[in-house]
Chains A and B, each alone.
Chain A
Amino acid sequence: ILNVEQSPQSLHVQEGDSTNFTCSFPSSNFYALHWYRWETAKSPEALFVMTLNGDEKKKGRISATLNTKEGYSYLYIKGSQPEDSATYLCASIMEYGNKLVFGAGTILRVKS
């Protein structure tokens, strides 16, 4: 059974704060790790797809790192803005398959 855990469950920060969330997943038979951003009433939007141990990806103020040996990924947001408020989902795929298993998400609320 593939269990993907995310923490914290929710986070409230002030505008301008930097923040980070954690995603943990089984490290055996790892194939890929996805991060998605999901705003209310919209579709989940792909942020990153990561496959290599030590991988680090960046998109504007958002970046992510991957450790496949210990089974975790961090998502960082630098200088949070109210428009960053969303649920951030991570999901993992084992081996070369397309069964993407999601964590429960981290809800981020940024106050101005």
Chain B
Amino acid sequence: ETGVTQTPRHLVMGMTNKKSLKCEQHLGHNAMYWYKQSAKKPLELMFVYNFKEQTENNSVPSRFSPECPNSSHLFLHLHTLQPEDSALYLCASSHRTGNGYTFGSGTRLTVV
């Protein structure tokens, strides 16, 4: 365990479903991130939160909706996804801007 916990580890959902990914850290970090890794592509930044405020949305489609209720928790709400959204979704946190990130183990999402 790295200190960043992601649930669930695996998720299969239909295109009309609504589901949520959860990320939790108790490292005292004040920045949290969602990254997406599609097959054979680099890790792609989706969202950045600093002190619960969203500071970066990397042109992510609105079918992905992040939520950060406090500095320790980050959610990614999913609705009406497409099969091409199937990927590994990684959460990370850092103490402050520019420091090394601590990653979770990821959620492997399959959209059918």
| Residue A44 is within 8 A (CB to CB) of chain B in the complex | yes
Please encode chain A, from 49 to 64, with 1 for each CB lying within 8 Å of some chain B CB and 0 for all others.
1010000000000000
Pick from A11-19, A70-78, A102-110 the stretch touching chain B. A102-110
With known contacts A99-B56, A101-B45, A105-B42, A42–B97 Cβ distance under 8 A? no
How far is B102's CA from A50's CA once the two chains are assembled, in angstroms?
16
Number of interface residues of B (CB under 8 A): 28
Asked if A99 meets B48 with Cβ closer than 8 Å, knowing A43-B105, A43-B106, the reply is yes
Cβ–Cβ contact A98 & B31, under 8 A: yes
Task: Write the chain A residue with the least CB distance to B35.
Answer: A102
How many residues belonging to A are interface residues under a CB distance threshold of 8 Å?
26
B45 touches A99 (CB 8 A): yes
- The CB with the most chain B CB atoms within 10 A, among A36, A42, A91, A98, is that of A98
Cross-chain contact A43 with B103 (CB below 8 angstroms): yes
CB < 8 Å neighbour of B104 from A34, A43, A46:
A43
Interface residues of B (CB under 8 A from A): 2, 4, 31, 33, 35, 40-45, 48, 50, 55-56, 58, 90, 94, 97-106
14 extra interchain contacts, Cβ-Cβ under 8 A, other than A31-B98, A98-B94?
A: A32-B98, A43-B102, A43-B106, A44-B90, A44-B103, A46-B101, A49-B98, A91-B43, A97-B98, A99-B58, A100-B45, A103-B42, A104-B42, A105-B42
